[in-house]
Amino acid sequence: MKGYRNYFAKKLVWFLVTLVVAFLLNFTLPRLMPGDPVAAIVSRAAQGMSNATGVQAIYDQYTELFGTDKPIPQQLVIYLGNVLRGDFGYSISQYPRTVADVIGSSIWWTVMLQLPAILVGWILGNVLGALAAYIRKGFDKVLLPASLFLSNLPAFGMAVILLVIFGVSLRWFPTSGGYDYAMVPSVSWEFFVSVFRHYQLPFWSIVLITIGGQAIGMRSMAIYELNADYVKYARFLGIKDSKIIRYVFRNAMLPQVTGLALSIGTMVSGALVAEIIFSYPGLGNTILTAVRGGDYPLISLATLIITWMVLLAFFGLEIVYGLIDPRIRAAQSE
Amino acid sequence: MKFSRFAVVGLLLVLLMAISVAPVVAQETLPRNETLYFNGQQWGPVTGWNPYSNSNNNAMAIAQQDNARVIMFETPYLYNMLDGQVYPLLADGPYSWNEDRTELTFKLKPAARWSDDTPLTAHDVAYTWATHVKYNTPTGAGNIDYIADVVAVDDYTVTVKAKLNDEGAAVNPLIVQAYVSTNYVIQKAWTETLEARANGDAVALLADTAEDVVYSGPYHGYFWDDSKVIYIRDDNYWGQDASMWGKLPVPKYLAHNIFTDNAAGTLALQSGEVDVSQQFNSNVQDLWLVEGLPISTYLPDAPYGIGASLPTAFFNLNAHGLDNVAVRKAIAIAVDYPTIIANAMTNQSATFDQVPRSLMNPTPGEQAMYDRAAVADLQWAGNDIEGAKALLDEAGIVDTDGDGWRELDGQPLRYVATCPNGWSDWQAAIEVVAAAGAQIGIDITTNYPEWSVYQTVVTKSDEPLPEGYEIFMMWSDGAGPTQPWSRVRKLLSSEFNGMASNWNGNWGGYANPEADALIQAIPTITDEAQLKEMYTELVRIYLTDVPSFTLMYRPQSFHTVNESVWTNFPYDGDGTNPPVPPLDMTDGWAIAGLYNLELVNP
């Protein structure tokens, strides 16, 4: 267990170092973007004003508020202090809303869209891949090219195809928004149905892409395992096929679990395409608006969330690997 | 078994999503027959309800411009762009000037009341101005050079006192009289609450989201989130008094869903999810001619709307060669305007044959304010490649090194023409400008930065524009109570050069003392013949010096309506008196249109 403690400590140090570096980059990079974000707020405040002194006074008020009149290292210290208190500042493009408020109102849409989509895509993809490896014959001949096609289709291509076929032509599902245009959100069956209907196209656009990739991965791993010596030996011993298959798929699952963890880690950024094409009110749309608006406090927090999630996914994965894979523990003990 | 567990988890997640985004409210679906849907006004989430601030992004409720938007907050007068007159709203009868034109006085309607049922008085009007000044709000800072004070003479009488120059005359009577139709009256009692909350801090006061704001208009906020905003009628609205409208506006709800772009908005208009569209719908006539939809515009034929503003290409006068009038004029006369109007605007603009370029918008009122014949020899119709080449040859600007591009003082004429990314009609127009350059030996390429970058560069007049902004597009003023003077000022006046944040105009840095003197003098002139002479002279200067050039005419607002649910929208010649302008029934006198709507299927 001492080996594992060393392993854990090393991973933790790397995790914390990466976190600090990511935080610094998240703070610095958006601030190197061209354009003066405070000028953007002042520009809204100063529209129509024709006296230089009045505009300058307003400009000074806002530079002081956002601290852009101070050098970047000093801004960083202030920002860090604020973040530790949970204050991520004001959004520039949606001033006077706070960044936390803007992210808070959109992130749940993204999580609720992406998490089920990734899980459903992952489950269906793995089941189909495993079946293809086991059944082979006609099933595999259909599934393999279909999976290759789906996994290579760009996300926006899939979204547009679904939009045109099921939204515009067949009119089965709404083409944009999170709920019906005439509705006010409420705890009601009617609203739930509306959300569910608006959910379908973006959901399936993500699921179908995920299925393709997962099915191919699972199929390859399962075929590899099915040809492994232990399977042949088990068959030679007369163990039932259903029991062998259970072992085979358990072994084939390991890399698939890695893929799942990474998908969940990157889900916030992965939502971008589907959300934009279907005007879905999630974080993807928020990030796009923030980038267009030079809204660096908003960009900083959004990218920080993505970074945290990816890092946590990796960290969690490595910790779990250390626990479940004796080879890693053994290597660390040496 | 495992799969069913996943299914349960999935369903729970979806349910959780529904709950997490759902504040508990009574109404679930807006009744279609009581709701008027808009698009094209609100392009992002509403961020506040503070009428003192310009940062609310609450386009449907807060827009204090020439045609102030008055569904929630109200102005003493309503401007009507069709006849150039103002009509009383909160005010009781017309305003009057004193003999020296230094003080403007008006009375308030005794019936006018706030949403908390207290009377709206002259003290509210005076306190609104005092607050604007005290906290240096955009309205205060924008008017302080022209308005000395706003005082309550008695409970219902207001006097706006002009700032005086050294001779004792009003610095600008035009701006003083515009104040009463372009700025809201805000309740004194609520303002005091706001001040207490802000603790005297100007930034805090302007950043307050003011969800408790007291208003005097017929609608107020009902629901808003990241995807929509809904306003509900106040059935106690004072305007149903006989001294104003005599009734309530017809729709109970005004709703605006937030669309990601024009294409999404057009789709919603086509499907009947939008009744009034204030966005550019490309080839709008196809909606009724080809698709047979019950959709129409203010005018039945091209240009389909009343042109009011002048999207303009500005020359950066600090760029090499663009300080030379021959280069500027050559580019301007070589541009193919019919192509811009046909392609970029899909014919939703008058042509320059119909309305020759000047500093005026195409409305008959403004066109009558200058002598068209006197400047006819300076006009150009565009697409004049040979004329442009001759002009450059004559100025000695020729291709000296044989590379196909002309040089001036040994340096090639190489420019970037730019406008914001995603503004498709502007981008199409700027491409035509670049194409014109290629035909006359001037190398013009295009570049489309994001709006956030573009605006901060263009409006920073205290530094020369950087490379990449040699030719660039921006708007001009539309129709309003100070027009055409204000537009002329913003296209030609040098007073904006050097401002830290210049949102007015003359972004290229033009300076001409003769033009400045005329612009300064016009607001004090009341003699119409003299005014016409002065405006004609300004047009002459503009067409001679070409510091910028108009590329097309554009409506003040696009006003396309779908009559699936509502009908009796305003249109040209509908017989209303005074006529209701095509401003989506929210701006200035256009709000009168909300009182005339009828249901298609009552």
| Residue B143 DSSP SS3 | helix
Residues 6+ apart with CB under 8 A from A303: A26, A30
- Contact flag A45-B455 (C-beta cutoff 8 Å): no
Largest distance between two CA atoms of chain A: 93
Q: Which residues in chain A touch residue B5, judged by CB atoms under 8 angstroms apart?
A: none
- List, in order, residues 6 or more apart from A79 with CB less than 8 Å away: A27, A89
Q: Do A175 and B267 touch (CB under 8 A)?
A: yes
Closest chain A C-alpha to B261 CA, distance in angstroms: 9
pLDDT tier for residue B553 given thresholds of 50, 70 and 90: very high
pLDDT tens for chain A, residues 1 to 334? 666 778 788 888 988 898 888 888 888 887 777 666 677 677 666 666 666 666 777 777 777 777 777 888 888 888 888 888 888 888 888 888 899 999 998 888 888 888 899 899 999 998 888 888 887 777 778 888 888 888 788 888 888 899 889 988 888 998 888 898 889 888 888 888 999 999 999 999 888 888 888 888 888 888 888 888 888 898 889 888 888 888 887 788 777 877 888 787 777 766 678 888 888 888 888 888 888 777 888 888 888 888 888 888 888 877 777 776 666 666 655 5
Both tokens of B11, joined, read 């369903």
Cα distances (angstroms) measured from residue B474 to each of B314, B481, B506: 7, 21, 10
Give the start-end residues of each E strand in A52-91.
Answer: none
Interchain contact, B141 vs A54, CB within 8 Å: yes
Tell me the residues of chain A between 236 and 255 that have a Cβ less than 8 Å away from chain B: none
Q: How far is CA A285 from the centre of its chain?
A: 13
Instruction: Check CB contact of A35 with chain B, cutoff 8 Å.
Output: yes
pLDDT digits 0-9 by tens, B369-408: 999 999 999 999 899 999 999 999 999 999 999 999 999 9
CB contact under 8 A, A186 and B457: no
Chain A residues whose beta carbon lies within 8 Å of the beta carbon of residue B19: 187
Cβ–Cβ below 8 Å for A51 and B145 = yes
User: What distance in Å separates residue B47's CA from the closest CA in chain A?
Assistant: 6
Provide the whole-model pTM.
0.86
Give the closest of A35, A50, A191 to B22, CB-based: A191
Cα–Cα dist B491/B479, whole Å: 15
Q: Which residues pair with B119 in a beta bridge?
A: B113
Contact check, Cβ <8 Å, B17/A108: yes
Chain B: residue whose CA lies nearest to A108: B17
Say which residues have a Cβ less than 8 Å from residue B293's Cβ, sequence separation at least 6: B270, B287, B562
Closest chain B residue to the Cα of A103, Cα to Cα: B226
- Please list the helix, strand and coil fractions of chain A in percent, rounded to the nearest 5, in that order: 80, 0, 20
Residue in chain A closest to B207 (alpha carbons) equals A96
Residues B512-538: tens digit of each pLDDT:
999 999 999 999 999 999 999 999 999
Is B37 in contact with A181 (CB distance < 8 Å)? yes
Residue B82 structure tokens = 């069709």
Note whether A46 contacts B227, CB cutoff 8 Å: no
For the record, the structure tokens of A99 come out as 């960044």
Q: Which of A105, A173, A184, A280 to mutate: most B Cβ within 10 Å?
A: A184
Q: Please name the member of A46, A181, A190 whose beta carbon is closest to the beta carbon of B273.
A: A181
Distance, in Å, from the CA atom of A11 to the CA atom of A15, rounded to the nearest integer, reads 6
Contact across the interface for A96 and B47, Cβ inside 8 Å: yes
One-character DSSP codes across B327-394: HHHHHHHHS-HHHIIIIISTT-S--TTTS--SSS-SSHHHHTTS-TGGGGGG---S--HHHHHHHHHH
The alpha carbon of residue B503 is apart from the nearest alpha carbon of chain A, in Å, by: 5
Classify A136 in phi/psi space as left (phi over 0), alpha (psi -120 to 50) or beta: left
Strand order in the sheet with B414-418: B443-447, B414-418, B471-474, B312-315, B548-550
8 Å CB contact of A43 and B6: no
Nearest CA in chain B to A196: B14
Cβ atoms of B432 and B335 within 8 Å: the answer is yes
How far away is chain A from the Cα of B7, in angstroms, using its nearest Cα?
A: 9
Task: Tell whether A195 is within 8 A of chain B (Cβ).
Answer: yes
CB contact under 8 A, B14 and A196: yes
Farthest-apart Cα atoms in chain B, separation: 92
Count CA atoms within 13 Å of residue B454 on its CB side. 19
The partner residue sitting opposite A59, judged by closest CB among B13, B227, B500, is B500
Closest-CA residue of chain A to B493:
A50
The CA–CA distances, whole Å, from B161 to B126, B171, B176, B526 equal 11, 11, 8, 19
Task: Determine if residue A108 is left, alpha or beta; phi over 0 gives left, psi from -120 to 50 gives alpha, anything else beta.
Answer: alpha
User: Contacts of residue A179 in chain B, CB cutoff 8 Å?
Assistant: 227
ipTM for the predicted complex comes to 0.76
Of the given ranges (A7-16, B117-126, B138-147), which has the lowest mean pLDDT? A7-16
